[in-house]
Each structure stands twice: as structure tokens, then as C-alpha cells.
A and B are shown apart, each in its own frame.
Chain A
């Protein structure tokens, strides 16, 4: 099923991204080994010039990866008509064992890319590029991750077989194809709800604290809180937010929220959640570089701002989710 426009576009984007990062790899290696800001040698000048190219190139790659995450989910949802029993993206991703790993890898790339872009931004503001080695070292680590995404996507899309009528087959066409698990498993509603609000509250608190203090420990805590809140939020969406939105006691699905039937409410939820999580992770990462002399003011300031944004984002997410639960007609837990 490679001949699908969205699939071709996704694979094209991933392949070109991997190629570009691979092209940047020898350069990154050279930077890590030979970078010396104090030197005025021809090599150092060439390296400095090339950083412009590769930081633009990497920004482009990572910005593209963020778009392809959305496209991947969107496309999975769209393809659900092709498979027996698939109602939405969950079913499509379950068609073969590569679907969900590809999605998870893509999400990991999304967050890694966000952190990298934040580091890049701060580094470009400092006059002596103190993080250049770390940046390009990270880039070398990200290349295998991106290659994994490409491999998983390729594996997933190549192994997709739509359940369509074939003239060679004798009786009921769909009989052999097993019905897909179109529901995700989820926690009980009440503990999930407690976890959801506790983790989000903690993340908001920690990020607010970091926005105020701007210390190394607070940065690490803010990032941890953000990561925890992300996991709890996804579990909460699966366990109860989705039920309230669908007004159905058993329909646990994180993807149907994105459909027009439900007023695209998923975007309202996921956009602040993903942005807030990315911001809190980036805040923690940036704070770790505050000890560099040229970043003494820059890094904490950027980190505190990001933490503030993360706190607002998590708060917004919690408020939106609560409103959606509140206005729903479903009664899941009787008080």
C-alpha cells in the first residue's frame, strides 16, 4: 500500500530528513573533534560558516518532523476504512506490529527535536557558541533515532494489506482477515482521574516554581514533572476524558477525538499538551547549561520563560479537559 499519496509524502519527508542529517554527520563529527572558538585557523572559520548551514538544515528537518507526526496520525485515521474492524487510527496502527512503534518513535523524535531547537536557539544568542559541541553531539545521536522512524514507517507501510475484494478468492472475502483490536486498553476511571489531576497539578506547580527560581534543581524537576504529566495526561485521555467526549462508557480512543464528528476537540487537547510538555523538557535541558559563562543570563532566562509557558500550557490543557468532562452528558462516576 505504498501507492498512497499521504504515505508517499510521509516516506519522502522521512527519507529526505535522514539523508540531510546523514550529510550533516561528518561535519558534526568534525565539529565535535576540532571546534576551537579561540583559534583563528582557516578550518575554524570554515566550521563556523558551516554551522549556519547545518543549523538551518537541522531546524528544517525537525520542523518537518513535527508536521509529519500530525500527518501520520491523520493518515492512519483516514485509512481505517481499508481494514476490517478498524474504526479509527487505533485499528489501522494495529494492522501490523510496526504501527504503534512507528508512532511512539515519531513522538520521541518530536520531543527530542523540540529540545534540540531550544538549545540551538539559546546557543545562537550567545556570542561564543558554548554549546556547539553538545548540539552536534546530540545531532549524531538523533540521526539513528530518525533512521529508526524511517525504518519503522517503511516496515509498517510496506506490510499494510488492505482487505479488498480480489477476484481469485472464492467465498467471503473478509472472512480470513481477523477483526482488529480497535480499542486501546485503559485504566479504571477513578484512579486515572486522580492520577491525571495530581500529575498535572504537580507539573504546573513545578514549572511555576522553576519559572520563579530558575535553579538547576528546579529545572530538572520541571522537566520531570512535565514528562510525568504527559504520561498521566495520555492515560487520563484514554481512561476517562475520551469517554466523556464520546458520551459512551466503553469507547477508549485517543484518536477519534481528532475527527470532525467530535468537533476536532482533540486538537484543542493535544496542542497545548504537546507544546507544554516540549516546553518543560526544553526548560529542564536549558537550565543544565546555565554554568557556561556566556549563558549565565541567557539560559536561565530562556528556561524560565519556557517553564512559564509550560505551566500555562498544562493549565490550559487541564482546563479544557475539565470543561469537556463537565459539559458532557455522560455520568461515569456517581457521586
Chain B
């Protein structure tokens, strides 16, 4: 065993010296390889961070949301509907929610108006999200006016701007009192937008949802798990599409690696000839060349991954954001929490190092079977 390790150490030593002798060529390959790892790793890190963010945001949302459907479209919850649900076993809390969208022609953006059940703002005052405050340039104490859909002008006093840490969910949010909400949207009394139910035991949510849909056939229960699943698969899908597009780059890189590895200079050929003449076997030359490939691949992998990490978590993934995160006028500003897992690294490794290894295999072999006398005589 020690013999084997010593042998590999000498091979690595020799390989490093050989690599250093051909700096320019190897640095070029290293650069391209790192760039490829960088691109793929950026996509992976960014989407996994977005997925984690979505899960964190949804963790506090109600387990079941009940919407009413009329002709397949979302409709208001009429009075008496909540009472019809009555007591469903396992449900801790039933709450009618009031929320809606408002298009603000001044900044050409959509706001979300919502009534808070627990300690809502006083009538005439509102609490706004950080993105909206930034866009309209308001601070606590200022007055904001909106023209309602009915054409009337409403003025509200901003009492508070929501903290920037919650911006991902509250960027475009306007919180107001129930009376203001109903007056502003001409919302019929007793009606609600939808119903939120909290279920204590996660195993019971499906049963609760099934009960609800038999009790109220015109309703559509949406489970938090379903929303989570949908988000996860949307991000996965986007990631997969980008990766599939990048596979052209992968192929190009494979060709480049093949070309680089097979374009042995006369000097290199001579070197291998001499090595074999002084007693190296074909297997040794292959081993040396494999070490060369492994060293290049690992350095490129580390460099690329590190660069991708910095790109995504320190520079907010400037190159990728437009494709992967979706868009909105009032897009929230947020920094992502780093999320790294083993699966991701293993996948990335398989994506980049494996094709490289395959691409350089045949050229390596070609180099290794060179006849010493043929080379030295030439």
C-alpha cells in the first residue's frame, strides 16, 4: 500500500512539473473548464437557494386554503359559507381572508391589498411593503392616494413600512383595515376572498381537504404541500431547461478537451518516447496522463464552484437572475441564503468531470502507446 502511494506521489510530482512546463496551454484549458463549471454551478446554486427560500416563505402559510369556484373561475366566498363548514375535526382555526390586487397606473405596478386579521391598522391608515415604499418614495407619516376601481380617490396615511428582511413576501403589500378594504374595492358585505384553515397535524391535511370538498362541492382546497411541490418542480424545471441549453456548451467543451489532449506537441511526444525508453510502461504513461487530467479537472472544479458561489450569494446572480427568478415591476430585493448539498455537488461533478474524463481517454491512450524508437528517430 505504501509502495502504491509513494508511486502515485512521484507520478503527481512529475505531472505537476510537466504541467508547469506548458503553462499557457494548460491555463487556457483550465480557464475554459472553470468557466463551464462556473456556469453550471451558478444555475444549480441559484435555483436551490430559490427553492429553499420558497420553502421558508411557505412554512408560515396556512395548511389549507379554500377557494370557491364558479364556472371554473375563482369567486368570492358568500355569507354563510364559513358557517357551513362548521367544525371539521383536526382544524384549529378557520378564517375568512380579504385580499385583492390593485393596479397603480402611476408606477405601472400591481399591489396586493390585504386585510390583517390580527391587529389591523386603524381606519384611514395603511402599512406598506418596502418595495412599494421605495417605488413611490413614501415614509411613515406621508399620505398615499389611490384611485379606486369605482373612480373615487382614497387617501391613506402610511403608519409603517414593513422591514426589508421580509421583502421577498411583502414587497408590493398594502395592509389596511377591513372597513377601508371593503369601501375601496366596493366589496360586498359578508363576502370574503378565500378561507384559510390551519390544521395541526400534517398527516390530516389531506383528510380535511377531502372532507371540505365533499361538504362544499363548489370549492377547491389548495394544500400547502401542493404549493410547495409546485414551486419546487417549477424551479427544477427551469434549472433543467437552462442545463439542457448549457449541454451544447458541455459538448463544445468535450470537443475542446479532446482536441487539446490529442494535439501533442513534438516535444511532448519526444518526452513520452524518452520516458518509455528509460523503462516506463504504457500503463505508467496512462496513469501519469490521468493524473494530469484529474489535477486539471479538480482545480477547475474548485475554481468554478467557488466563483459560482461568490456570483450567486455575493453578487445576487447578476447573470442568471432574469431567466430563473421570474419578473415583476416591484421585484423584491433580497439576498439569498447559501444552500449547498451533497447531491448538488455530486451532480455537478458528474456533469463536468465525467464528460471531460471520457473526452480525454482516447487521446491519452494514443499518446501512451507511442513507440519510443519511432519518436526518437523522427
B223 within 8 A of A: yes
Assess the A8–B240 pair: CB atoms within 8 A.
Answer: yes
Q: Tell me which of B92-100, B173-181, B205-213, B308-316 binds A.
A: B205-213
Partner of A3 from B44, B244, B365, B369 at Cβ < 8 Å: B244
Report if A84-B358 is in contact (Cβ < 8 Å); known contacts: A12-B350, A67-B350, A165-B226.
no
Bound: A81/B52 CA distance, A: 13
Partner of B241 from A3, A75, A174, A175 at Cβ < 8 Å: A3
Assess the A81–B343 pair: CB atoms within 8 A.
Answer: no
Assess the B282–A3 pair: CB atoms within 8 A.
Answer: no
Q: Tell me which of A32-40, A51-59, A204-212 binds B.
A: A51-59
CB distance from B214 to the nearest CB of A (A): 10
Partner of A163 from B69, B229, B240, B350 at Cβ < 8 Å: B229
Residues of the A chain whose Cβ atoms lie less than 8 Å from the Cβ of B121:
none
A335 within 8 A of B: no
Bound: A117/B51 CA distance, A: 40
CB distance from A335 to the nearest CB of B (A): 33
Residues of the B chain whose Cβ atoms lie less than 8 Å from the Cβ of A323:
none
A-B pairs with the 6 shortest C-beta distances? A3-B240, A53-B365, A164-B230, A9-B350, A9-B347, A165-B230
Main SS of the interface on chain A? helix
Number of A-B contacts (CB under 8 A): 128
Assess the A68–B350 pair: CB atoms within 8 A.
Answer: yes
Question: Which chain A residues numbered 1 to 38 have a C-beta less than 8 Å away from chain B?
Answer: 1-10, 12-13, 16, 20
Assess the A52–B282 pair: CB atoms within 8 A.
Answer: yes
B357 within 8 A of A: yes
Q: Given contacts A52-B282, A56-B286, A172-B210, could you give 4 more A-B pairs where the C-beta distance is less than 8 Å?
A: A49-B369, A57-B361, A164-B226, A170-B69
A82 within 8 A of B: yes
Question: Which chain B residues numbered 216 to 231 have a C-beta less than 8 Å away from chain A?
Answer: 217, 219-223, 225-230
A104 within 8 A of B: no
A271 within 8 A of B: no
Assess the B343–A173 pair: CB atoms within 8 A.
Answer: no
Residues of the B chain whose Cβ atoms lie less than 8 Å from the Cβ of A82:
229, 232-233
Bound: A329/B82 CA distance, A: 46
CB distance from B181 to the nearest CB of A (A): 27
Residues of the A chain whose Cβ atoms lie less than 8 Å from the Cβ of B346:
6, 67, 70-71, 74
Residues of the A chain whose Cβ atoms lie less than 8 Å from the Cβ of B344:
5
Partner of A9 from B213, B232, B286, B351 at Cβ < 8 Å: B351
Residues of the B chain whose Cβ atoms lie less than 8 Å from the Cβ of A174:
206, 209, 223, 225-226
Q: Please give me the residue from chain A that is nearest to B365 by CB atom.
A: A53
Assess the A172–B213 pair: CB atoms within 8 A.
Answer: yes
Q: Please give me the residue from chain A that is nearest to B55 by CB atom.
A: A81
Residues of the B chain whose Cβ atoms lie less than 8 Å from the Cβ of A78:
343
Query: What are 16 sample pairs from A and B whose C-beta atoms fall under 8 A apart?
Result: A4-B239, A5-B236, A5-B239, A5-B347, A8-B244, A10-B350, A16-B354, A64-B354, A67-B346, A81-B232, A170-B220, A171-B219, A172-B213, A174-B223, A175-B209, A175-B213
Residues of the A chain whose Cβ atoms lie less than 8 Å from the Cβ of B343:
6, 71, 74-75, 78
Residues of the A chain whose Cβ atoms lie less than 8 Å from the Cβ of B283:
52, 124
A138 within 8 A of B: no
Question: Which chain A residues numbered 88 to 144 have a C-beta less than 8 Å away from chain B?
Answer: 124
CB distance from B151 to the nearest CB of A (A): 32
Assess the A164–B365 pair: CB atoms within 8 A.
Answer: no
Task: Identify the B interface with A (CB < 8 A).
Answer: 44, 69, 72, 206, 209-210, 213, 217, 219-223, 225-230, 232-233, 236-237, 239-241, 243-244, 247, 282-283, 286, 290, 342-344, 346-347, 350-351, 354-355, 357-358, 361-362, 364-365, 368-369
Task: Identify the A interface with B (CB < 8 A).
Answer: 1-10, 12-13, 16, 20, 49, 52-53, 56-57, 60, 64, 67-68, 70-71, 74-75, 78, 81-82, 84, 124, 162-165, 170-175, 179
Residues of the B chain whose Cβ atoms lie less than 8 Å from the Cβ of A4:
236-237, 239-240
Bound: A74/B344 CA distance, A: 10
Residues of the B chain whose Cβ atoms lie less than 8 Å from the Cβ of A12:
350-351, 354-355
Q: Please give me the residue from chain B that is nearest to A6 by CB atom.
A: B347
Bound: A70/B368 CA distance, A: 33
Partner of B358 from A16, A74, A162, A173 at Cβ < 8 Å: A16
CB distance from B147 to the nearest CB of A (A): 31
Bound: A12/B233 CA distance, A: 20
Bound: A164/B368 CA distance, A: 53
Assess the B369–A172 pair: CB atoms within 8 A.
Answer: no
Q: Please give me the residue from chain B that is nearest to A163 by CB atom.
A: B229
Residues of the B chain whose Cβ atoms lie less than 8 Å from the Cβ of A57:
361
Bound: A3/B239 CA distance, A: 8
CB distance from A31 to the nearest CB of B (A): 16
Assess the A165–B358 pair: CB atoms within 8 A.
Answer: no
Assess the B220–A60 pair: CB atoms within 8 A.
Answer: no
CB distance from A84 to the nearest CB of B (A): 7
Partner of B282 from A7, A8, A49 at Cβ < 8 Å: A49
Q: Please give me the residue from chain A that is nearest to B250 by CB atom.
A: A12
Bound: A51/B258 CA distance, A: 20
